[in-house]
Each structure stands twice: as structure tokens, then as C-alpha cells.
Amino acid sequence: MINLNGNLLAALDLETTGLVDGYHDIVQVAVVPLDGNLDPLDTAPFYMNIKPDHPERADPEAMAVNGLDLAELAMEPDCWQVADYFDEWFERLNLPLHKKLIYLTQNAPFDIPFTKHWLGVQGFEKYFHRRGRDTMFMALGLNDQAVWKNRAVPFSRVGLKALCETLGIPLDNHHDALADCIATAKVYRELLRLEV
């Protein structure tokens, strides 16, 4: 996409042990680079489970949602190792000098603070451009546009599952970071096509 100025759009999603950044841990991360049609690039996505630093803080409800097992996660690499793997993966993308990933999320106010906590603010700024995209905010904006034009709002709910249902996008394996990245990219494509 020419408006990305040489940067690369990539869907980002996390699964965590709860909702509080700095208290709960990331236990799964996926980053899926996208082509100009918003399909995954041929390059392998970054997709890993992460050993939680504080499994005792895990919210049982959050773990039931993501379906990950704390005992199995204890065998995964820790967040520092996964950050190193992410750095190696990022370097293999061979982006032009000073170019970064432009994140595409569903609910950036959740994903981005957790990601910054994991990679550090400087690390985050090394890999990700500040001007990300977000499907939830875009759907809310389209709702506002519809109201402005005195039309019915297109989205009564703006969670990923609800957006997929409204837009007719299959959502298999919801709350798996990779599956949710792919669904988020499909939602974004349909939102770009939508006229309200």
C-alpha cells in the first residue's frame, strides 16, 4: 500500500493471563505481515507461546477464554527469549532502512501496552511505527459516520467475534493469536470496502 511509505502492515494479537498490563503476562503472540490485498505474506508469521513470569497471577477466566494450559506454558521460552526470537524474525523481513511494521490490531488500547511492556518502549519503537491501525476504532468511526449521515449504525457490537459475524467472516479458533490476526486482517479489508 503506497500510503505506508515503505513500512509494512502487520496484524498483531496477544493472548494474556488477564487484563491488567504490568500485572498479567503475555502467553501467546502473533504478528502476521500483510500484502497489499491484506492477505498474509508468504513469509512465516511470528507466532509463539510464552512462559508466564507470574503464573500465580493468572485469571482463571482469562485462561478459560484463551484455552492455554499453565502447566504446558511453563515449558515454553520466557518473554526475554521470545523477544530475542522476535528480533531475529524482524531482521529476516529485510525491511528498507528505518522502515518498521505498522501494527493492525483489534483493540489497540489492550494490545499495545502489553507489547510495550514485553519489548520495552524503545524496543517497541524499533519494530513498530507509531501510526497503527485498529479495526475496533475503525468500526466505531463507521458507526459515527452512519449517525452523522442519519443512517443506521452498521455495528451494534465491535468485538472481533461480533465484527466477523456482521461482516460474514468465519472465525475459527477464536482467542488463538494467529487465528485472530488473520481474522483481524479480513475484518480490516471488509471495513475498507464498506460504505455507510
| Architecture of domain 2-134 in this structure | 2-Layer Sandwich (3.30)
Q: For residues 13-20, give the mean pLDDT.
A: 98
Q: 66 phi and psi, to 5 degrees?
A: -85, -15
Chain region(s) in the chain for CATH 3.30.420.10? 2-134
CB 79, CB 50: distance < 8 Å: yes
Residue at grid coordinates 484463551:
66
Share of residues in the chain with pLDDT > 90 (%) = 96
Summarize the confidence of residues 124-152 as an average pLDDT: 97
Check pLDDT > 80 for residue 83: yes
Asked if 105 and 112 touch (Cβ cutoff 8 Å), the reply is yes
pLDDT at residue 185 above 80? Answer: yes
pLDDT for 2 equals 63
Residue in this structure with the C-alpha cell 505474506, named with its chain if needed: 41
Give residue 195's pLDDT band: very low, low, confident or very high (50, 70, 90): confident
In the predicted model, what is the mean pLDDT of residues 62-73?
97
Residue 40 pLDDT > 70? yes
Per-residue pLDDT, averaged over 20-27, amounts to: 97
